[in-house]
Amino acid sequence: MPEVRRDGGAWLPALLLALRTTAYGLIGVELVLLVLWALAPHSGSTAGQTLRLGLVFWTAAHHASIHLGAARIGVTPYLLTLVPFGLLHRGTRRMLAADDGVEAVAFVPALAVCYGVVTTAAALAARSAGVRPDAAEAFVGAAVLVALAAGTAVLRVRGVPERVPPEVAPVAAGAARAVGALLAAGLVVVAVTVVGGLGEVTRTAAALHPGGVGGVGLVLLDLLLVPTLGVYGASLVSGPGFGIGAHTSVSLAGAHLGAVPAVPVLAALPQTGRFPAYLLVLLVVPVAAGALGALRALRDAAGWRDRLCLAAATAVTGGVALAAVAWLADGSAGPGRLAVSGPSPWQVGLASTGELLVGALLVVAAVEVRARRTRR
């Protein structure tokens, strides 16, 4: 394995990992699409067009917008994003574990640049007369993905650097637990909604007349969007909700929707109208998530002032993280009014921060009451 040093030795192993990640990921995507293309000989597309479509999906997984003529599609298939994330995380962990001399501060930035360049090349190769992935967004998205995947790998193998304040680790761990709980709740909401609207989903799919192979393709497309819809569900549970198009909304108060894209899973969205008042009980979920995060953050805290500061920092960090997640899930779903779709990042961040803070303060109060009873 090439030695990774601060003097430039990081570039070769970074480039090799970037190329390997792209090759493994693209092989998987292209194989699936080629199998579907081979089973549908009357699709009218060529093998070259199918391979180019695989490149389009790959760049879209890195948060790159796809321009289809005058329309712009900015919704990211986050289930596919997990593929490069996992490959980058695993590759970085293996390199760090195999050689203690690897300088993470040199390797991670080099990997971000190399992987960004390779992903940009894929975006440029995917371009055709009617389809144009945004190369700049592909580079930025790839670099951010490296920062998350390789950064978490460094923390897992090397631990938190000594120069980082000791309060950062528990706050980050607590915020991660709170955000994870809220996103899991969002996925549950999506699952319940899809099961409840399964009839509409089936009818929408049948109306598209996809055939057997096309039906499989529609199912795969729906699955790719499930994590993105989970973010939508989390924004719904937090209160602000989301929209599918300009001047539309789905929140705990009710739904106001127009025509939505012909994606079967979106047919499960509720009809326009007010929701029952008892659904407001779902606002307890982010409060409970804040309590879970605080329990993790306050594990080693001593004194009510430290607990209060850690609880507040955990709630704010979780709210900022949820705003970032909502921003990543926010994107154009088509032309015209559909150019504005998804949750509002600032609304989700503001609402979730307040709700997480309530849950965290409840934990602080409970811990303080218990501590005073013990002192007696």
* Average pLDDT for 180-190: 93
Q: What angle do CA 82, 86, 92 make, to 5 degrees?
A: 145
Q: What stretch of H or E contains 315?
A: helix 304-329
Q: If pLDDT is split at 50, 70 and 90, which confidence band does 8 have?
A: low
The rounded distance, in Å, linking the Cα atoms of 153 and 162 is: 17
Rg from Cα positions in the chain: 23
Token pair recorded at residue 49:
């067009």
Contact 142, 116 (CB under 8 A): yes
Which residue carries 């150019």 as its tokens?
Answer: 339
- DSSP letter, residue 76: -
Q: What are phi and psi of 29, to 5 degrees?
A: -65, -45
* pLDDT tens digits along 155-178: 888 877 777 777 888 899 999 999
* pLDDT winner (highest mean) among 144-153, 243-252, 256-265: 144-153
pLDDT at 289 over 50: yes
Give the 3-state secondary structure of residue 254. strand
* pLDDT tens digits along 68-113: 877 788 788 888 999 999 999 999 999 888 877 778 888 999 999 9
**Predicted pLDDT of residue 333:** 64
For residue 233, count other CB atoms closer than 10 A to its CB.
Answer: 28
Terminal Cα distance for the chain, rounded? 61
Token pair recorded at residue 194:
């899809």
Q: What are phi and psi of 270, to 5 degrees?
A: -65, 155
* Average pLDDT for 111-136: 93
The rounded distance, in Å, linking the Cα atoms of 223 and 220 is: 5
Contact 110, 118 (CB under 8 A): no
**Predicted pLDDT of residue 55:** 93
* Average pLDDT for 297-310: 81
Q: If pLDDT is split at 50, 70 and 90, which confidence band does 7 have?
A: very low
Distances in whole angstroms, Cα of residue 319 to Cα of each of 151, 176, 316: 21, 10, 5
Contact 175, 314 (CB under 8 A): yes
Pairing, β 254-256 against β 273-274 = antiparallel
The rounded distance, in Å, linking the Cα atoms of 238 and 211 is: 39
Q: If pLDDT is split at 50, 70 and 90, which confidence band does 334 have?
A: low
Contact 119, 62 (CB under 8 A): yes
Calculate the dihedral angle through the C-alpha atoms of 219, 279, 291, 144, rounding to the nearest 10 degrees. 40
Distances in whole angstroms, Cα of residue 337 to Cα of each of 236, 250, 257, 261, 284: 21, 16, 11, 11, 33
* pLDDT tens digits along 10-46: 888 899 999 999 999 999 999 999 888 888 766 667 8
* pLDDT winner (highest mean) among 174-183, 275-284, 367-376: 174-183
- DSSP letter, residue 270: P
